Structures are given as structure tokens and as C-alpha cells.
Amino acid sequence: MAKMRPGEKLKVDFNMNGQPIGDHRATLANYCGALVKDPLNAPLYEVEQFSQIPQENKDKMWQLVLDKFDIGLDDDQEEEERKKKYMRRRKFIMESLNKKYRNFRARLKSDYYDTEETDEDRLKEENMPNFVDKKDWEWLVKYFGSEEFQKKSQRNIKNRSCLDAGHTAGSKSFAQKAEDMYKRDKVMPGLLDVYEETHLTSDKLPVTQMASDALNEMKRLLEQRKAGEISLTDEEIYAKIKPKGKRNCRDRRTGVSPSITSLFGGFSECEKLRKEADKAMNEAAEAKKEAISANEQNKILTKKLKDVERENKVTRHFLEKFLNTIGYNLSDFNMDEDFEESNEEYDNEEDKDEEEISGNDRRLE
């Protein structure tokens, strides 16, 4: 970038989800990292997190990005679409700067704070980072040792333990990985396709046991869906195979290490999807049990019906023999006509009873 001419910009392409892809994707990410390392852009002193950086500093970094990169803000002709794209691109850049700022501070802690036992040693000139102002480092040492930060640090350690054991994408974003898969296979990969691709080694083996368990569960659910036993979407299956303890852990499935919010609309929504998935599977299991029970009942009734038919045949056989011995033939008896006559006599008796009741009612009136 140092060799760029004044006014020259690098074109960065974005996919349909607003994630950077292409040759200059990494250059944009590296540039955002360089911006937040400059205390004139992202100060360290008395700043606990990116949200506390003054708005004018954020606006300045945004403008510096626009000066170096063409991120497609002028590609749309309609003003309304341009405004929407402007807001999406700015949001993405701010998230990228936020991530780079957190990583920068985390690296300062791991490389210069955690390596020494006491604050006295940490503040010695030979142990301080030479690219950080002394005043800034003194404040960071005090902040890293505070009770508030230690609680946050322990919480983050616990969250990191929920990670699903890494991936094989390396420094490449999942958005770029999906783009590479599209160029290779000529088919746009889905969420589960990208998950499987980035959790297998070059030998097509899962990177860890946890990844293996998740992939096996995913395969089982996909087979059930194909067989029509369940009707879960890819997002619902993904929510189900993720480690259940993974509440605040990040997921890079949509680009700049977004939270799970970017995938499912918030952890509560993710839990909702998980519960709906469990409910759907339970309902499918119950329906299967009911179908099996109904099938068993049908077999029992069918057997009973066959037994009745067999008994009727035996009864008819003996009746024919009996009638033959006394000089009659069963075919001489019209059972259907006798039954109809009997019913007709019964109906006539009922009509007479109703007329008699009606007459009594009129006399009472």
C-alpha cells in the first residue's frame, strides 16, 4: 500500500452477505489492524473497550479506509440502496476495527504482561513494549490487574473452552472459504457444507474429537431429514450440533468473527431454534411410536376379524349339515328379506308409539 499513487484505491469485492472476498480482502483486514495500533486513532489510555473510543476517532478511521479502498459504495444508482449499502459497509468496518483492537490488546497482555510475575517487572523499560507509550502501558498494567478485568478474563477463558476445537480455514475468512468452494464446485455452498469443509483435514479426517462428534451428529440428522423423519432446516441442524455450552463464543461463519447473533439473531434465538429442533425430533419420535402402535393394533384387529370369519364359516357349515338332516336347504331361507321385514315391523311399532304419545300430549294441553 505504500507504493499506491495519490487517489488510487484498492477494489474490494463483497459477497451477497456483505462479507469481503477476493484478492484485497486480506489487505483490508491488515489495514484495519494497522489503524487501531495507532494511539492517535484508537487510544489505549483509560479505554477499556472499543465502544469507549471517541466517535470522531471512529469517523476518522472510517474515512481513512474509504481513502484507500473502493468498497462499492457507488455501485448502486438508487439513492436508497446506496444509503443501505453505506450503513452495511460502515457496520462491517467498525466490527473489523473492534476485533483488531481487541486482538491488539490481547496480544499486549499475552506477550508483555503475562510473561512477568509482578507489576514492578512489567514496568521495567526492558520489559515494556517499545511501540506503546509509557503512560498507556502503565495504565494497561493497572487495568489488567484489576478485579473487574480478572473476572472478565476468567469468563472469557471459560467461553474459549466451549470452542468447537478449531478449524482448518487458517487466516482465511469463512466468507472467502465459501467463495473458494463456489469457484471449485460451481455450486454455492450452504452453512453445513462450509462447516464440514472447514472442520476436516486434507485427509478428510475431523480436526478434533469434538468436531468428529459434531460431524457425525450432522450426518445422522441429514439422513433423517432425507428419509422424511424430520424437517429441520440447515440453520436448525447447525444450532443443534454446536456445543451446548457455547453461549458467548464467537463464530466466524459470516466473516469478521461475528457473534452467533449474526447467524441466528441472538443467543435466545439460537436456544429457541435448538428447542424447536428438539421438539420436532421428539414429535417425530412420538409419531413413529404412535404409528407402530397403530400398526400393531391393526394387526390384532385383522387377526380378530379373520377369526370371526373362520368361526362364521364353521357355524354355517354345521348349520347346513343340521338343516340337511331335517330335510331343509339353507338356500331356501332368505335371511336378508326376513331381516328387512323384521325391521319394518319394528319401525311400524315405533310410529304407533309416537302417535299415541303425541295424542296424549295434545289432551294434556
Indicate the pLDDT class of residue 114, thresholds 50, 70 and 90.
very high
CA distance 319 to 328: 10
CA distance 248 to 339: 78
What average pLDDT does this structure show over 92-108? 95
Q: Report whether pLDDT(354) > 80.
A: no
Q: What per-residue string of b and e applies to 232-244 under the rule 16 or more CB within 10 Å gives b?
A: bebbbbbbbbbee
DSSP 129: -
Q: Under a CB-based contact definition with an 8 Å cutoff, are residues 168 and 201 in contact?
A: yes
The reply to whether the predicted model has a pTM over 0.75 is no
Which tens digit of pLDDT belongs to each residue from 256-276? 433 333 433 333 444 455 556
What letter represents residue 111's amino acid?
D
What letter represents residue 199's amino acid?
H
CA distance 217 to 22: 33
CA distance 312 to 318: 10
CA distance 19 to 296: 55
Predicted pLDDT at 56: 97
